[in-house]
Structure 1
Amino acid sequence: MRVTRGIMRRRFVLLMLGLITAIAALIARLAYIQAVQSPWLTQRAYDLWRRDIPLEGKRGSILDRNGKVLTYTATAPTVIAVPRQVRDKDAAAAKLASVLGMPVQKVRDLLGRNQLLVYLAPGDRRITEAQAEAVRALGIPGVYISEKGKRVYPFGTLAAQVLGITGTDNQGITGIEKQYDSVLEGERGSITLFAQANGERMPDTGEQYVPASDGQDVQLTLDVGIQQFVEREIEQAVAEYTPDRATAIVEDPKTGEILAMANYPSFDPSHWQDFPPNTYNQNLAIWQTFEPGSTFKVVTLSAALQEGKVNLNDRFYDPGYYEVAGHRIKCWKAGGHGSESFLNVVENSCNPGFIALGERLGKETLFSYIRKFGFGSKTGIDLPGEGNGILFKLNQVGPLELATTAFGQGVSVTPIQQVMAVGAVANGGLLMQPHVVKAIVDHETGEVVKTVDPTVVRRVISTQTAAQVRQALESVVARGSGTNAYVDGYRVAGKTGTAQVAKNGRYEPGHYIVSFIGMAPADDPKLVAYIAIDNPHPQDRPVFGGQIAAPIVGRILADSLAYLGVPKSAQGLPKKPRWNDTPMVEVPNFVGMTLDQAKRAALASGAQLSTEVQGKGPYVIWQSPQAGQKVPDGSTVRLYLGNVKPPG
């Protein structure tokens, strides 16, 4: 085909139109990028250039109920370097090494690393404030000052498993540190700068400083004084009985507040990595489950009285055993207790008598009360790692299971469940939810941000039934198996427990958990105290809760009530003398004396009292047991020394 001038003109026009269209499209695309996509692309670029140097907020403190600091964060400056931004590394290394007291070559090696950030410090990441100011004065580009914190424990190992531990990144791992991590940790800040791919600062870009914010303080229900009494008793029990484990709890039954919680084995939270994981991961007081033994009889007694199945004056005959479904379940006393009232059944912790109460109640009723008292489910305490315990399913309960459950065998419970159940008896019949946190407090101002109010879970028995049970338990301590918990002037009510330990479906010979749970004063309990000792090895006494655990709870209650200023009373039941009772003597007042004066006064009193000294200083500032308290002859009086002589 011949190309004419007209065809060429048309082709030229079409070419020009296409070219103009392409140029218009390019212009439109550029306009779209500049006008519409510019902010997005700019942000993407800044995200690629952005480098954040983290700044930690100061972790909040943990306080006891009276504001005493149990743990806090001591912060110290840290030197951070961005190696790619340090141009003259040799000169920078020489200057920094001089200020930090580090070898020049070590600093030079750190500055030469192919990393975004490196920390410069001798042996640790923390330096002094004076060193930090000197580093700032050097003005070396790429070198920054941040803050690092370390947890400090003024009371050492006290309440370690309640407080918990923190990791290297300031995060809570166990205990309160984990449960309230979001409250304690605060908000992280940062120093933001912009750098090229090779790490060098972008020209004409500044820094953005976002300050870190401190965490809030957590105030616990724990009382340092009562916690120290409890840990002292556990320490002494470990020294005397070499058990596998031990746990103790003290509760305010009216509020559900936990005033003390301690375990053995424990650990040092400052060096928790040096201890076996189970010591810092498992809080035995809320995690461990075991057969409770006779302390569980409090539930059976409460249910039987509430349902009108027994009057404490009713008679029962104990021949030394009880026949159930072809099995003969023996009483702990060979030959039995013979004819006794049901009050005597409680005093004597007589298993056949409690089997009879279980049969009167029936499995549906007994197990409904067991669940009402909180067994078989978590209490909801504000600590991580709580156990459920184990109960028989109702369709698995036959006559034998009903019998053993009635006296605390065949079920599995946690220490905190037992404390809360007996707490319901102590406060008039209300099951409370336990808690160890009292309030959230602003770290800077000290103002209370949030309080934790007492929570009633449900009513389990009437106030009248609770009063009857307390009277029976006071009689246990005054006249029955719990006499070693008796405290002159304080009406202690309680129950002993001695439980065999099952392993691989069989009870291990000679392996027992002995326990005691008590409350005082019996007419209006201010405290509930519990201790369980796993596999004790006494040298001079049988393995019974009444012999080993009861006196420990008696001392905890006596010291704690005196510490709280609870007055003594002469209205309680007198202690029934027993043929093998040790003579009781009155403890003199040693407070205000020097140590030599106290020792001479102990000798002059005529009582066979020994003294144990704790603390340092010229004067006795506290003693346990308290002056005027009656104790067995030959007891040990602990004298706490200090530098300031108490008034009076």
Structure 2
Amino acid sequence: MAEEIEPNELAPKSNRILFCYFFIVFLLGGVAIAILARAFDTAFVERDTWLKVAESQKRPNRLIYPSRGNIYSSDGKLMATSVPCFYMYVDFNADCYSHPTPKWNSLDTLLKSKNNGIDSLSVYLSRKLKNRTPAGYKAYLLSGLKKKSRQFPVYEKKISYSDLKEIQKYPFFRLGRFKSGFYTREMVERQKPFGSLASRTIGDTFRDIDPKTGLTKGKNGLELQYDTLLHGEAGLNSVRRVGGGWTNVVEIDPVEGMDIRTTIDINIQDIAEKSLLDMLKKIDAASGTAVVMEVATGEVKAITNMGRIREGVYGEDTNHAVADETEPGSTFKVASIMVALEDGVCQPGDTVDVGNGIYMYKGARMTDHNNNKGGYGRISVEQAIWNSSNIGVAKTILKGYEKNPTKYVEGLYRLGLNEDLRLEIPGAGRAKIRRPDDTVRYWSKTALPWMSFGYETQIPPIYTLAFYNAIANNGKMIRPIFTKEIMHNGKTVQSFSTEVIRESICSERTLNIIKDMLLGVVEKGTGKAVRSDFVRIAGKTGTAQIASGGVYRQAGHQVAFCGYFPADAPKYSCIVVIRQPRIGYPSGGTMSGGVVKAIAEKVYASHMSFDIRDMERDSLAVTMPRPKAGDRVALDEVLDKLDIDMNTDEAASRWVTASIDDSLQVVKLKDIPVREGLVPNVVGMGAKDAVYLLESAGLRASLNGLGRVASQSVSPGAKVSKGQTVSLTLK
């Protein structure tokens, strides 16, 4: 029987266990209290001390520069992109040059070291940069050392990133910034792969990176217009001490800039620039601008602004197309007559007496361009447009609005000429058509007639183009646009569509009359030089004297042509304005019109597409290919692939001749007799089949010429003489 244990015997053991438990709890509680106390002391009492320690374990934050967005043409060709570039300097007054320890004294290393001294460095720099000899570089660097320059340029020009990485490995520089004083200043170079094409409209950027924001900034053009989208957002990078070494930690990722896809068509842009440049050089003009716009969409396909840099040399300068607020001259006459037609003041067949080309009005002398030839006499209103008669247009407008000029100006406003086009180019001008009640500028007694033919108003060329584009677009005026879409990481963020300014600038009847007049200008009037044998062009010439100090005749002329093509189904509108030609008689038709003609013909040849089914059949055209005689299997396969019908009624053997039945549009196949021991007939075959057939008969073939066999030296049907050579003439 088991011995029973009394309860009082278990009590001492339970007490010991309970004591141990409470002791451990008390001990852990003390540790926890100590940790909390220390954490409180660290977080609040010693907070500043530990923050200083933390700061000593990292270097100051540095900005991570974002990549500026690219600018593309309408078909995705790169027109502007950013490339980093660097300028190199040495701080010859850095602490490392006066360090007391020889091991870290850069001055001692530079002057005495064999591997990292100035002699070795000079050789490497001379070999790479090629702007000084090794001795020259040594003297140059020593001069900076003597001056203790803090920003001594190693090289006067910028270098690429790849060149910088190489130079950083050169003697002395490879010791690093803190031991050599060598440092760089990063800049961004905006490169344009297509050079001057649309350069002023694309715009430029400032090369310096803003040290506070880490961003590049647009200077003008689309670069400035969309600067906030293109430049992106800088990130933040800190360098911290981890495990005895330093490591980069990206605190905030940079946001790359967005990309812009423009409406510019590189091919049309190239055509427009070359055509304008050729004319500017020919007539030695001061400047010129050309703009090509797509009629239906308002997309600017080409815009070029060329100015004389020095004699015989031109380059992109001021964006004259959008910025110039100049008197448009005779291209404005179309708007005047459109207003008069709409108000019932005149009809195209109404006549007006322009006399001998000289007309005095209120003491002011008005002339036509042919006044030295006796003038036009009595002409119709449409002839006044064809021949660009100042007097004809002025008398027509005076007849309807002399007593109420405000009605005429309101008519111009009704056409949309005074609308703000809200162009995307910063610094763009606006049309300025003043009213008789204008308190800023005095309305003179001669303002109305002179305004009617393009003086007394200021209109940028692109505003004139928008008006003519509306005529080509069946009366609908749309805003010229330069941007198709904004993209980020290849995805479209925002698209730009056609924006209508005026649904209709005039009635359909007036529009048709104006279109006929513009055709008449090119086919019967002052624009005859614009007439093309390849594409029908409609438009209006313009020649205006340039005012200088309020005086005309001293600053030369501005000549222009504005119109559209093809005239019957307009696809593009175009304006060309040339200022101050020094060679030849100033003529909007010959000079500016000549450029428009060149642009129209080249664009027509390279960009227009037509349904071939609508074209007249050429009497010399080959509608079916002429097949060669030869192997029937190969011929069957080719004709089947070309979907050409065959007539095989007279063909049953392997070798056949082929002829075309034009009336049935079918290829007729006929057997070629091949008999053993007789020379086969290979005339009409290709070289491959002819040689094969002759050699199969035991003959040898000699070839002369290219094409198909025209004749063979041994007549078909002759008895075969083994090894005999048959000469084949191919044509």
**TM value normalised by structure 1:** 0.69
Change (3 A) 1:317 1:435: same
1:562 alignment counterpart: 605
1:457 matches 2:498: no
Counterpart pick for 2:522 among 456, 459, 477 = 477
User: Is the CA contact (8 Å cut-off) linking 1:220 and 1:439 kept in structure 2?
Assistant: yes
1:198 alignment counterpart: none
**How many angstroms apart in 2 are the aligned matches of 1:151 and 1:393?**
45
Change (3 A) 1:189 1:487: same
1:165 alignment counterpart: 204
2:567 alignment counterpart: 522
Change (3 A) 1:427 1:296: same
Cα deviations by residue, 1:548-594 (Å, 9 ceiling, x for unpaired): 2222211111211222125599x9xxxxxxxxxxxxxxxxxxxxxxx
1:324 matches 2:361: yes
Alignment of 1:413-562 (within 5 A): 413-442=459-488, 444=489, 446-459=490-503, 460-509=505-554, 511-539=556-584, 542-562=585-605
User: Is the CA contact (8 Å cut-off) linking 1:164 and 1:280 kept in structure 2?
Assistant: no
| Aligned AA (2:83) | A
**TM value normalised by structure 2:** 0.62
2:321 alignment counterpart: 285
Cα deviations by residue, 1:273-294 (Å, 9 ceiling, x for unpaired): xxx9x98773111112221110
**How many angstroms apart in 2 are the aligned matches of 1:109 and 1:51?**
29
Counterpart pick for 1:341 among 352, 377, 380 = 380
Change (3 A) 1:292 1:140: closer
**How many angstroms apart in 1 are the aligned matches of 2:243 and 2:579?**
66
Change (3 A) 1:235 1:340: same
User: Is the CA contact (8 Å cut-off) linking 1:89 and 1:108 kept in structure 2?
Assistant: no
Change (3 A) 1:523 1:206: same
User: Is the CA contact (8 Å cut-off) linking 2:417 and 2:463 kept in structure 1?
Assistant: yes
**How many angstroms apart in 2 are the aligned matches of 1:356 and 1:40?**
92
Once the two structures are overlaid, the 10-residue window that deviates more, 356-365 or 243-252, is 356-365
1:225 alignment counterpart: 267
Cα deviations by residue, 1:137-156 (Å, 9 ceiling, x for unpaired): 98969699997643222222
User: Is the CA contact (8 Å cut-off) linking 1:251 and 1:258 kept in structure 2?
Assistant: yes
1:300 alignment counterpart: 336
Cα deviations by residue, 1:16-64 (Å, 9 ceiling, x for unpaired): xxxxxxxxxxxxxx98995599599959995998623333222222111
**How many angstroms apart in 2 are the aligned matches of 1:58 and 1:96?**
37
RMSD over aligned Cα, in angstroms?
A: 4.4
**How many angstroms apart in 2 are the aligned matches of 1:126 and 1:510?**
46
1:315 matches 2:359: no
1:356 matches 2:395: yes
**How many angstroms apart in 2 are the aligned matches of 1:551 and 1:328?**
31
**How many angstroms apart in 1 are the aligned matches of 2:474 and 2:152?**
62
User: Is the CA contact (8 Å cut-off) linking 1:500 and 1:507 kept in structure 2?
Assistant: yes
Change (3 A) 1:141 1:454: same
TM-superposed CA distance for 1:408, in Å, is: 0.7
**How many angstroms apart in 2 are the aligned matches of 1:171 and 1:107?**
37
1:63 alignment counterpart: 72
SS of equivalent to 2:379: strand
Alignment of 1:64-463 (within 5 A): 64-75=73-84, 88=104, 90=106, 101-102=124-125, 124=158, 126-128=160-162, 131=165, 149-169=188-208, 170-193=216-239, 207-209=248-250, 210-265=252-307, 282-319=318-355, 320-334=357-371, 335-359=374-398, 360-361=400-401, 362-375=404-417, 378-395=420-437, 396-442=442-488, 444=489, 446-459=490-503, 460-463=505-508
**How many angstroms apart in 1 are the aligned matches of 2:45 and 2:154?**
45
SS of equivalent to 1:246: strand
| Aligned AA (1:337) | Y
**How many angstroms apart in 2 are the aligned matches of 1:46 and 1:391?**
65
Change (3 A) 1:547 1:435: same
Change (3 A) 1:188 1:497: same
1:51 alignment counterpart: 60
TM-superposed CA distance for 1:484, in Å, is: 0.7
**How many angstroms apart in 1 are the aligned matches of 2:274 and 2:459?**
25
SS of equivalent to 2:576: strand
Structure 1: segments with no counterpart, 5+ residues: 1-29, 196-200, 269-275, 572-648
TM-superposed CA distance for 1:404, in Å, is: 0.6
**How many angstroms apart in 1 are the aligned matches of 2:525 and 2:292?**
23
Cα deviations by residue, 1:165-197 (Å, 9 ceiling, x for unpaired): 2222232112122112222222223432479xx
User: Is the CA contact (8 Å cut-off) linking 2:521 and 2:538 kept in structure 1?
Assistant: yes
User: Is the CA contact (8 Å cut-off) linking 1:300 and 1:357 kept in structure 2?
Assistant: no
**How many angstroms apart in 2 are the aligned matches of 1:157 and 1:164?**
11
**How many angstroms apart in 2 are the aligned matches of 1:259 and 1:241?**
26
SS of equivalent to 1:506: coil
User: Is the CA contact (8 Å cut-off) linking 1:290 and 1:414 kept in structure 2?
Assistant: yes
SS of equivalent to 2:425: coil
**How many angstroms apart in 2 are the aligned matches of 1:439 and 1:160?**
19
SS of equivalent to 1:265: strand
How many residues in Structure 1 have an aligned counterpart in Structure 2?
Answer: 522
TM-superposed CA distance for 1:419, in Å, is: 1.0
**How many angstroms apart in 1 are the aligned matches of 2:573 and 2:174?**
62
Structure 2: segments with no counterpart, 5+ residues: 1-38, 126-136, 209-215, 615-731
**How many angstroms apart in 2 are the aligned matches of 1:374 and 1:203?**
73
Change (3 A) 1:203 1:235: same
Change (3 A) 1:191 1:291: same
**How many angstroms apart in 1 are the aligned matches of 2:537 and 2:345?**
26
**How many angstroms apart in 2 are the aligned matches of 1:381 and 1:96?**
59
User: Is the CA contact (8 Å cut-off) linking 2:230 and 2:258 kept in structure 1?
Assistant: yes
Change (3 A) 1:280 1:345: closer
**How many angstroms apart in 1 are the aligned matches of 2:152 and 2:204?**
26
**How many angstroms apart in 2 are the aligned matches of 1:566 and 1:267?**
38
User: Is the CA contact (8 Å cut-off) linking 1:312 and 1:342 kept in structure 2?
Assistant: yes
1:17 alignment counterpart: none
Larger Cα Rg: Structure 1 or Structure 2? 2
User: Is the CA contact (8 Å cut-off) linking 1:440 and 1:450 kept in structure 2?
Assistant: yes
1:645 alignment counterpart: none
TM-superposed CA distance for 1:207, in Å, is: 4.0
